């Protein structure tokens, strides 16, 4: 392959990864924007999303890559799987908030963040025990179509990802910008106290943020499975940390920033895997995380991190 076709191929890969990271990063940003909480549980909500999708697809009788659907059945199965996965993960997120985080809402210090680490650990280990630490083959109903573009290959999976992720992100953006609850979310992010006094039901806003963020993480988990054709209890940590880096890169709390940050991290991962070495990709990404936090904590696109005094 020539350099330019390699570059194009890695750009295609990077955009696909980036779309997944962006979905995951949005959840971090939504919850951080409202509660100023780094939600470690999000890592493994994503992981569970991939398993929910796996079980739903298996429920449709699919297994591995052997059974391929086309036309309306394909669309129906995919829509159903996305809907169930996102709904399930959204409810899981709401449950996590309701049971473990709401009692700590007014506790200062790291208690809430430590709790999310604990929740994340619980989710991780439950799946580990259920799956006996096995890597699972992820059912893929898509026909194995691919196209040659300028020496690089684009698969149907990638086209699907590029279709689904922007629709979900635009939907979220429209919700936050246009809807009444979205306005309440933005108000709460600015000043929870004032929002409460103006009649915003903060509990409802927080629940909505957890539902939406976790639902997007679920979609991200399903995309992970479709893209890599496998899933495992292990996938949450690395993907979650990369997505968190994406959120920080875009300016945590900033919704469009998380999308752009996700794409950037996906591209960085793809390029550094190709042109440097795969095993150093994480070192590069986490070094970016450290550097951005130290030198530009408000991220590339502003919104100065709110300071809790």
Partner 1 sequence: MPSATAALARPFAAIPEARRRQAATLALALAALLFPVYHGNQADIDSLANAAIYASLALGLNIVVGFTGLLDLGYAAFFAIGAYTYGILSSFQLQPEWSSFWVPFQELGLVTQMPGETTGFVVHFTLSFWLGLPLAALVAAGCGVAFGTPTLRLRGDYLAIVTLGFGEIVPIVFRNWASLTNGAAGLNGVAAPVLLGHSFGVNATPYYYVAIVLVSALIFMSFRLRDSRIGRAWMAIREDEIAAGAMGVNRVRFKLLAFATGAGFAGMTGVLFIAKLQTATPDMFDFPVSVMILVMIVFGGIGSVWGAVAGAVSLSLLQSWWLPDLTGWVDAAGSAIGNRWLAQVDLSQSVELIFGIILVLMMLYRRQGLIPAYRAPAALSFDQQHAVVQRGFGELRLSGLGGEAHTGALALGVRGVTVKFGGLVALNAVDIDVPAGGVVAVIGPNGSGKSTLFNVITGLVPADGGSIRFHDEEILGLHDYQILVKGIARTFQNIRLFPTLTVLQNVLVGQHARLSTGAISAVIRPPGTRREEQGAIDWAMEILAIFGNRLLPRAGQAVSGLSYANRRRTEIARALASRPRLLLLDEPTAGMNPAETLELAEQIKGLKGLGLTVLLIEHKLDVVTTLADTVYVLDHGEVIAKGRPDEVRRNEEVLRAYLGRNAQAAAAGTTGPVHVA
Q: Which residues bind partner 1 (CB under 8 A)?
A: 36-38, 100, 103-104, 107, 109-115, 117-122, 124-126, 128-129, 237, 241, 244-245, 248, 277, 279-280, 282-283, 286-287, 289-290, 293-294, 297, 305, 307-308
Nearer to partner 1, 69 or 104 (CB): 104
SS3 of 136, please?
A: strand
**Least distance in angstroms from the C-beta of 66 to partner 1:** 31
Q: Which of 239, 242, 69 is nearest to 160 (CA)?
A: 69
Nearer to partner 1, 147 or 286 (CB): 286
Q: Dihedral sign, CA of 158, 243, 27, 80?
A: positive
Nearer to partner 1, 32 or 224 (CB): 32
SS3 of 187, please?
A: helix
SS3 of 137, please?
A: strand
Q: Which of 260, 186, 213 is nearest to 19 (CA)?
A: 260
Nearer to partner 1, 53 or 127 (CB): 127
Nearer to partner 1, 26 or 123 (CB): 123
Contact criterion met (CB below 8 Å) for 222 and 81: yes
Contact criterion met (CB below 8 Å) for 195 and 89: no
Nearer to partner 1, 138 or 233 (CB): 233
The residue ranges of DSSP E strands in 140-298, in sequence order, are: 146-149, 152-155, 230-231
Q: Where are the alpha helices (H) located in 97-201, listed in sequence order?
A: 111-131, 156-178, 180-190, 192-197
Q: How far is CA 13 from each of CA 101, 217, 268, 303, rounded to the nearest angstrom?
A: 37, 19, 10, 29
Which one-letter DSSP state was computed for residue 184?
H
Contact criterion met (CB below 8 Å) for 227 and 270: no
Nearer to partner 1, 119 or 215 (CB): 119
């Amino acid at each position: 392959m020539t350099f330019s076709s390699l570059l194009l191929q890695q750009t295609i890969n990077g955009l696909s990864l980036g779309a997944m990271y962006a979905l995951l990063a949005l959840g971090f940003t939504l919850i951080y924007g409202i509660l100023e909480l780094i939600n470690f549980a999000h890592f493994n909500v994503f992981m569970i999303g991939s398993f929910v999708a796996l079980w739903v697809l298996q429920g449709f009788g699919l297994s591995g890559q052997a059974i391929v659907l086309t036309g309306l059945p394909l669309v129906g199965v995919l829509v159903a799987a996305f809907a169930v996965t996102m709904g399930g993960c959204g409810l899981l997120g709401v449950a996590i908030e309701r049971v473990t985080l709401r009692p700590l809402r007014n506790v200062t210090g790291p208690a809430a963040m430590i709790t999310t680490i604990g929740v994340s650990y619980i989710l991780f280990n439950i799946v580990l025990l259920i799956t006996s630490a096995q890597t699972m083959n992820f059912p893929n109903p898509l026909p194995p179509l691919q196209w040659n573009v300028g020496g690089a290959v684009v698969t149907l999976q990638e086209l699907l990802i590029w279709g689904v992720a922007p629709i979900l992100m635009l939907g979220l953006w429209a919700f936050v910008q246009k809807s009444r609850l979205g306005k309440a979310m933005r108000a709460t992010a600015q000043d929870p106290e004032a929002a409460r006094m103006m009649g915003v039901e903060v509990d409802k806003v927080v629940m909505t943020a957890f539902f939406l963020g976790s639902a997007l993480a679920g979609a991200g988990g399903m995309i992970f499975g479709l893209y890599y054709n496998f899933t495992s209890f292990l996938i949450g940590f690395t993907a979650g940390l990369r997505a968190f880096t994406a959120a920080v890169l875009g300016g945590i709390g900033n919704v469009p920033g998380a999308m752009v940050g996700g794409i950037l991290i996906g591209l960085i991962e793809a390029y550094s895997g190709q042109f440097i070495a795969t095993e150093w990709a994480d070192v590069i990404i986490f070094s970016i995380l450290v550097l951005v936090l130290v030198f530009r904590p408000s991220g590339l696109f502003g919104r100065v991190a709110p300071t809790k005094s």
